Amino acid sequence: MIDLDGTIYNGLMPIPTAKLFIERLEGQGIPYLYLTNNATRTPEEVVAYLAEVCQIQATPDQVYTSGLAAVDYIAKNYPNGRVYVVGEAALARQVEEAGLVLVDEKIQVVLQALDRKTNYEKLTIASTAIRNGAAFVVTNPDTNLPTENGFVPGAGTITAFLKTSTQQEPFIIGKPFAPIMEGALSRLGLSKEDVVMVGDNYQTDILAGIHYGIDTILTLTGFTQAADLVSMPEQPTYVVRNLSEWTV
């Protein structure tokens, strides 16, 4: 299971050693799944982005996003549910494709992700719905995202607004929580002892693996640096400066 932001690329900047790592997996016939908390792209858009930015070829079935995992969860627990999305076009499209209904009234589920065009009106609708009993589902808790210009606010900053407004805790789908890991493992068709979680963020990628009971590889190409690990009570299974140091 391989993270994207900070692991394969930083914004518009590819991480060259990551491409070598993927080529090594391909050469040895080792299955892998891109596992990302980013809910602003569909798997097809992720594939196009990988090809354009990193010159890495992939297929949509090799990508599992927190958006997909959230929609899977809602479709299972609220079939034909009425969903209000605080998120971007890709997530809204996935909600509709799953047979759920996009609404802005009589809301059963508020699905919140990163929404770079959100406004006070949208957040008011979401807050009011949650206060009136709608389920509060969040794609991922990421507070900051690595880009070519440094770190920018993530979905977790919007979650903080809604938590403060409603005094309610959300059900979180993405890393480091279990729902996305369960979905990813199911897609791979493997057991936990045969899988490793690869990522750059201790708080999401590495804790996801630790909490789910699988090995982890932390690459120091993104969010977490070596100095950050000193105070962590639970350590990654492996730490590498970049993925070229890892031999399969």
Taking only the tens place, the pLDDT of each residue in 87-141 is: 999 999 999 999 999 999 999 999 999 999 999 999 999 999 999 999 999 999 9
Query: Where does the pLDDT of residue 146 fall: very low under 50, low under 70, confident under 90, or very high at 90 and above?
Result: low
The chain-wide mean pLDDT, for the chain, equals 95
CA pair distance 126, 114, nearest whole angstrom: 14
Helix, coil or strand: residue 17: helix
pTM of this structure: 0.90
* Cβ pair 145, 151 in contact under 8 A: yes
Catalytically annotated residues: 3, 5
Query: Where does the pLDDT of residue 203 fall: very low under 50, low under 70, confident under 90, or very high at 90 and above?
Result: very high
Taking only the tens place, the pLDDT of each residue in 39-62 is: 999 999 999 999 999 999 999 999
Mean pLDDT of 229-241: 95
DSSP 61: G
CA pair distance 34, 41, nearest whole angstrom: 13
Q: Which value, to the nearest 10 degrees, does the dihedral of the CA atoms of residues 20, 26, 32, 34 take?
A: 50
- pLDDT value of position 145: 76
Res. 150: pLDDT tops 70: yes
For the chain, domains (ranges, CATH) are 9-66+176-245 (3.40.50.1000), 79-172 (3.40.50.1000)
Provide the phi-psi class of 144: left if phi over 0, else alpha when psi is between -120 and 50, else beta: beta
* Cβ pair 51, 19 in contact under 8 A: no
Helix, coil or strand: residue 184: helix
